[in-house]
Amino acid sequence: MASNTPLSSARILVVDDEPDLRTLYELTLLREGYRVEAAANLAQALQQIGEQHFDVVITDMRLPDGLGMALIEQLRAQQRPERCVVITAYGSAENAVEALKAGAFDYLTKPVDLKQFRAVIASAVQAPAAPASLVNRPGSTHIQNSEAVMQRLVGESESMQRVKERILKVARSMAPVLVHGESGTGKELVARAIHAHSHRTGSAWVAVNCSAIPESLLEAEFFGSKKGAYTGSTQDREGFFQAASGGTLFLDEIGDLPLPMQSKLLRAIQERCVRPIGSPQEEPVDVRIISATHKDLRLEVLAGRFRQDLYYRLDVIEIEITPLRERREDLPALCQALLRRIASEAGIAVPTLSAAGLAQLCQNPLFGNVRELENLLQRAVALRDGDELPLELAVRQASTQESSSPDSPPAIQDDDEQASLPSDLQGHLDNQERDILIQALRETGFNRTAAAARLGLSLRQIRYRIARLHIDLPQGGELSDESL
């Protein structure tokens, strides 16, 4: 089925067991110029899909003879091109997220706002059909570009293999993706790989650092402005959403957006349209959202710093990037790739990294991950006298700089730091850390999520410390996590 289907020929199937709602949806769509069929239950819908093709299928989540999810799964199993829009009860965001993961194009909540309904359906009609697998002809520009991007994700560890596999899976859909990982792990590179492997690869790629934009400029930067909207506005200016329309909008450090802007961003994502500053009209936009953060947004939601409804919109599919210190088997290949890039930029022969130099790097905590590793190698290349890289000197200089920096590693240490401490001091620190963790766990009813939030740790970090310090479970109970 061709993309950008004309409205006059778009075929839509409406599946809902409530006659009044079904009629309302039909009439609304007919007035928009669509050709509409209707079904009252799952069986009728499956029969109609078996007899003809549609551009869009709109289905209620709960039907008399099953769930709308079964319809979505059936379409995906048959590699059908229909885009599915799910209608679910208000407050059932978890069901909607599951539908998006299964392949739904978008979802609406009851009571359905007809303006939003029309906008979502128009976007679904105009969107390219997402195939079950991308068709890459040998030698095509797309496959070359996508492979080049993927090759920059260096590493064969189990965790990196999972990341690469997830990239290829999520690239096929329109579902929003949240990339989570520490600073310097390569979150933007993962987002670029998703875009490069998607059917939007030939369209716009717009990357935004949310933490770098002053709060007073956020709305204009995201949604654009009209000439004369404010002092110094001498011409129309498009925002990030307009610039990325038809392609991918990457929102880096999404957790740093202030709450008022979060509300406006949520509306833009739901309505698929934006209102530039100074404009009386909204403009339709078609973007795929990929966001990234080093923060645990679940804890940010608990703390009231991040909207829960926006969190559900963004975290449909999550990709977690493991810190470099937890996948040190990737270090040799990473060092080689980084040294090749450094040498190419400097116009020199690729330096040799000795086994001793690699061992020196393996002892470094690398809290800055790949970014820190690249800085260390660049410093070593600049300081070298011959062919050998002075890694020990580069690491020592970096350590001196970090120890005087306000962004030094936290007091609660990982095993790499602890290995260099005297055993009596290490035992004392372990006992103190154990007491702090136990107190926080007791005060939160042994809820690890709440205890982590209280201590300023991520859930992964508190689990690691509970295991390392051999903290016993309460008798007859379990350490529980709060489900969001």
Q: What is the pLDDT of residues 76-134, one digit of tens each?
A: 778 788 889 999 875 556 677 777 777 788 888 888 888 888 888 887 887 655 443 33
Q: What is the pLDDT of residue 10?
A: 87
pTM of the shown model = 0.61
Q: What angle, 0 to 180 degrees and rounded to 10, lies between the N-to-C axes of helices 158-170 and 187-196?
A: 40
Q: What is the pLDDT of residue 409?
A: 39
Q: Is the pLDDT of residue 186 over 50?
A: yes
Closest among 21, 23, 66 to 45, alpha carbons compared? 66
Q: Pick the more confident residue, 28 or 88.
A: 28
Q: What is the pLDDT of residue 131?
A: 42
Same fold, 324-403 and 415-468: no
Least trusted range by pLDDT, from 24-38, 91-105, 419-433: 419-433
Residue 373 near residue 333 (C-beta atoms within 8 A): no
pLDDT digits (tens, 9 = 90+) for 256-269: 999 999 999 999 99
- Calculate the average pLDDT of the chain: 80
Confidence of residue 484 (pLDDT cuts 50, 70, 90): very low
Q: Which residues contact 93 (CB under 8 A, 6 or more apart)?
A: 308, 309, 312
How far apart are the C-alpha atoms of 174 and 161, rounded to whole Å?
22
Q: What is the pLDDT of residue 142?
A: 40
Record: fold of 148-320: Rossmann fold (3.40.50)
Q: For 336, phi and psi rounded to 5 degrees?
A: -65, -45
Q: Pick the more confident residue, 192 or 413.
A: 192
Q: What is the pLDDT of residue 9?
A: 75
Confidence of residue 13 (pLDDT cuts 50, 70, 90): very high
CA 368, chain centre distance (Å): 20
How far apart are the C-alpha atoms of 103 and 201, rounded to whole Å?
19
* Structure tokens, 188: 């933007």
How far apart are the C-alpha atoms of 88 and 104, rounded to whole Å?
12
Q: What is the pLDDT of residue 207?
A: 92
Domain 7-126 sits in which CATH superfamily? Response regulator (3.40.50.2300)
Q: What is the pLDDT of residue 394?
A: 56
Q: Under CATH, to which class is 415-468 assigned?
A: mainly alpha
pLDDT digits (tens, 9 = 90+) for 243-255: 998 899 999 999 9
Neighbours of 221 (CB within 10 A): 17
Q: What is the pLDDT of residue 349?
A: 83
CA 15, chain centre distance (Å): 31
pLDDT digits (tens, 9 = 90+) for 344-395: 888 888 888 877 778 878 878 888 899 889 888 888 888 777 666 766 655 6
Report the pLDDT averaged over residues 322-343: 90
Note the CATH number of domain 324-403: 1.10.8.60
Domain boundaries, the chain: 7-126, 148-320, 324-403, 415-468
Least trusted range by pLDDT, from 71-80, 146-155, 378-387, 403-412: 403-412
* Structure tokens, 37: 């069929």
Q: Is the pLDDT of residue 297 over 60?
A: yes
* Structure tokens, 483: 């489900």
Report the 3 state secondary structure along the chain: CCCCCCHHHCEEEEECCCHHHHHHHHHHHHHCCCEEEEECCHHHHHHHHHHCCCCEEEEECEECCEEHHHHHHHHHHCCCCCEEEEEECCCCHHHHHHHHHHCCCEEEECCCCHHHHHHHHHHHHHCCCCCCCCCCCCCCHHHHHHHHHHHCCCCCCHHHHHHHHHHHHHCCCCCCEEEECCCCCCHHHHHHHHHHCCCCCCCCEEEEEHHHCCHHHHHHHHHCECCCCCCCCCCCECCHHHHHCCCEEEEECHHHCCHHHHHHHHHHHHHCEECCECCCCCEECCCEEEEEECCCHHHHHHCCCCCHHHHHHHCCEEEECCCHHHCHHHHHHHHHHHHHHHHHHHCCCCCECCHHHHHHHHCCCCCCHHHHHHHHHHHHHHHCCCCECCHHHHHHHHHHHHHCCCCCCCCCCCHHHHCCCCHHHHHHHHHHHHHHHHHHHHHCCCEHHHHHHHHCCCHHHHHHHHHHCCCCCCCCCCCECCCC
Report the pLDDT averaged over residues 450-471: 80
Report the pLDDT averaged over residues 451-470: 80
Q: What is the pLDDT of residue 423?
A: 55
How far apart are the C-alpha atoms of 300 and 136, rounded to whole Å?
40
Confidence of residue 294 (pLDDT cuts 50, 70, 90): very high
Q: What is the pLDDT of residue 270?
A: 87
Q: What is the pLDDT of residue 257?
A: 95
Q: Pick the more confident residue, 54 or 414.
A: 54
